[in-house]
Chain A
Amino acid sequence: MCTYLTEKIVVDGSGKGAAGWFSLTDATVYLDHPQHAPAEHTLNIDFLNPAQGPSARVAVELTADSARALARAIEAALQAAPPGLA
Chain B
Amino acid sequence: MNEALIAETISIAGHGGDEIEAYLARPLGGESFGGVVVIHHMPGYDGGTKEITRTFAAHGYAALMPNLYHRDAPGASPDDAAAAARAMGGVPDERLVGDVRGAADYLRALDGSNGKVGVIGYCSGGRQSFLAACSLPLDAAVDCYGAFVVGTPPEGMPLKVRPIVDLAPNLSCPLLGLFGEDDQYPSPDQVAELDKALIEAGKAHEFHSYEGAGHAFFSVNRPAYRVEAANDGWQKIWDFYGRYLAG
Q: Is the CB of A33 within 8 A of B43?
A: yes
Question: Chain B residues near A1 (CB, 8 Å)?
Answer: 42, 123-124, 147-148, 153, 157, 159, 185-186, 215
Residue in A closest to B42 when the chains form the complex, CB atoms: A2
Residue B87 at the A interface, CB < 8 A?
yes
Kindly state whether residue A35 has any CB partner on chain B within 8 Å.
Answer: yes
Q: Bits for A1-18, please: 1 = Cβ < 8 Å to B, else 0.
A: 111111010000000001
Pick out which of these stretches binds chain A: B31-39, B70-78, B92-100, B194-202: B70-78
Q: Is B223 an interface residue (CB 8 A)?
A: yes
Complex Cα gap A79–B216 (Å):
42
Majority SS at the chain A contact face: loop
Contact of B76 among A4, A35, A55, A59 (CB under 8 A): A55
Within 10-66 of A, Cβ neighbours of B (below 8 Å) are at 18, 28, 30, 33, 35-36, 38-40, 46, 48, 50, 53-55, 57, 59
Give Cα distance in the complex from A59 to B148, angstroms.
27
Q: How many residues of B contact A (CB 8 A)?
A: 34
Please name all residues of chain A whose beta carbon is closer than 8 Å to the beta carbon of B154 when the two chains form the complex. 5
Taking a contact as CB atoms under 8 Å apart, the answer to whether B224 and A40 are in contact is yes
For B79, the closest partner residue in chain A by CB is A35
Cα(A30)–Cα(B82), bound, Å: 14
Are B223 and A2 in contact, CB atoms less than 8 angstroms apart?
no
| Contacting residues, chain A, for B158 (C-beta < 8 A) | 3, 6, 30
Tell me, in angstroms, the Cα distance from A40 to B214 when the chains sit together: 10
Check B222 for interface membership: any CB of A closer than 8 A.
yes
Assuming A2-B124, A54-B76, A55-B76, is B224 touching A33 (CB within 8 A)? yes
Q: Is the interface of B mostly helix, strand, loop or mixed?
A: loop
B86 shortest CB reach to chain A, Å: 6
Contact A33 B77 (CB under 8 A): no
The listed residue with most B CB atoms (<10 A of its CB), out of A33, A38, A48, is A33
**In the complex, chain A residues whose CB is within 8 Å of the CB of B153:** 1
How long is the Cα–Cα vector from A38 to B215 in the complex, in angstroms?
Answer: 15
In contact, B87 and A28 (Cβ under 8 angstroms): yes
Complexed CA–CA distance, A40 and B86 (Å): 18
- A54 and B76 CA atoms in complex are apart in Å by 7
Cα A1 to Cα B216 with chains together (Å): 9
A20→B158 CA distance, assembly (Å): 29
What residues of chain B lie closer than 8 Å to A36, measured between beta carbons?
Answer: 79
Q: Does chain A have a CB within 8 A of B81? A: yes
Q: Please name the 10 residue pairs, one residue from A and one from B, whose CB atoms are nearest each other, closest first.
A: A1-B185, A2-B42, A54-B73, A54-B84, A1-B147, A54-B76, A54-B80, A5-B156, A35-B79, A6-B158
A-binding residues in B (CB < 8 A): 41-43, 72-73, 76-77, 79-84, 86-87, 90, 123-124, 147-148, 153-154, 156-159, 185-186, 214-216, 222-224
